[in-house]
Structure 1
Amino acid sequence: MARASELKVGFVVAVNGGQYQVRSIDIKAPSARGASTLYKVIFNHLITGQKWEHTYKGDDILPDVDTQHRNMQFVYKDGDFYTFMDNEDYAQHTLSETELGDTAEWLHDGMEGLVGLLVTDKLVAIQLPQSVEKEIIETTPTLKGASATARTKPATLAGGVVIQVPEYVAQGDIVKVNTDSKKFMGRV
């Protein structure tokens, strides 16, 4: 059992007779005295992928689901299906592009450091590492004399993710990006 205040993105809980994974949490702390902190949670159903949102108080209890977290490696993409390999028992699992959602655009062949979420030995979700290194496929040319100021430009990474990068970053550079916020962290 988990309190609403203890929920984190990726947790799987039982809600309304179904199994849902936490996709995002928005915390609202009212300014009035005696008001409790509210947690607006957006869930995705594990099987159907249907989105559902609900607001909880910090002390509300949600029953958790028996899950396993396994280290995984992305092996290959075949059409709309992505194949992952369990690093411990080498079992292969597949997820569709719709099941992966925005996670799919970050994946590349041989990618390691992924965490697979298994419910009754079936892969239901993939959690990305906090940051990944990607090559810049397309961006405007580097400006002569550009410095590390706050001015940015759009850049398309391998996989199709578009982020804002400083002006001094050029096409072909490898950059480190935060997967949650899609923010540039540095050049590698």
Structure 2
Amino acid sequence: ARNVLTRNKVDITMKGTDVIEEADFSRREVQMLYTDATHLFVMDKEDYQQYELPLEDVEEELKYVTEGLEGMRAMIYNDGCVGLELPAAVELTITQCDPGVKGNSATSRSKPATLETGLVVQVPEYIKEGERLKIDTRTGEYLARA
């Protein structure tokens, strides 16, 4: 039996009798430091170790990440950060949305709202620009006012 494992453009070919050593895998609570043109930089909240992730690897997660986000964890594999785990919901501020139509507050119509990270979500028509909202990070949907 042959298996080919691919990680970071390195191919490892194994035979049926080969043994893989147990990987050093952990999840560590981190906070966002900054992004540059190519990477997101995060810091371990316990030991202050810094990790960098290519932006293309965390493109989806960045829609929910702000400075001070609590509950974000880095997935560490053999001393390197290989991904981010987000909390189930985050709070984000609306930076742009159209005003609601007067007299329609009782209807269940929705409108698009742009949040501080650039994420666009559908919100009830009565929601206003500047409000903080809870957003589900698994679906990208509006949950409630924060």
Q: TM-score range by the shorter chain?
A: 0.7 to 0.9
SS in 1 for 2:63: helix
Deviation, structure 1 residue 148? 5.2
Deviation, structure 1 residue 165? 0.2
Aligned ranges 1:1-188 → 2 under 5 Å: 16-19=4-7, 47=8, 65-147=23-105, 149-188=107-146
Letter of the structure 2 residue corresponding to residue 16 of structure 1: V
Letter of the structure 2 residue corresponding to residue 145 of structure 1: G
**Alpha carbons 1:75, 1:111 under 8 Å: kept:** no
Deviation, structure 1 residue 115? 1.0
SS in 2 for 1:16: strand
User: TM-score, normalising length from structure 2?
Assistant: 0.82
**Alpha carbons 2:23, 2:78 under 8 Å: kept:** no
- CA RMSD across the alignment: 1.9
Aligned pair count?
132
Distance in 1 (alpha carbons) for counterparts of 2:142 and 2:107? 13
Aligned-residue sequence identity (percent) comes to: 34
CA distance 1:133–1:116, change in 2 (3 Å): same
Q: Which has the higher contact order (CA 8 A, sep 6+)?
A: 2
User: TM-score, normalising length from structure 1?
Assistant: 0.65
Structure 2 regions of 5+ residues with no counterpart?
10-21
Structure 1 regions of 5+ residues with no counterpart?
1-14, 20-46, 49-63
What does the per-residue CA deviation read over 1:121-154, in whole Å, with 9 as the maximum and x for residues that have no partner?
Answer: 1001001110000011111112223335421111
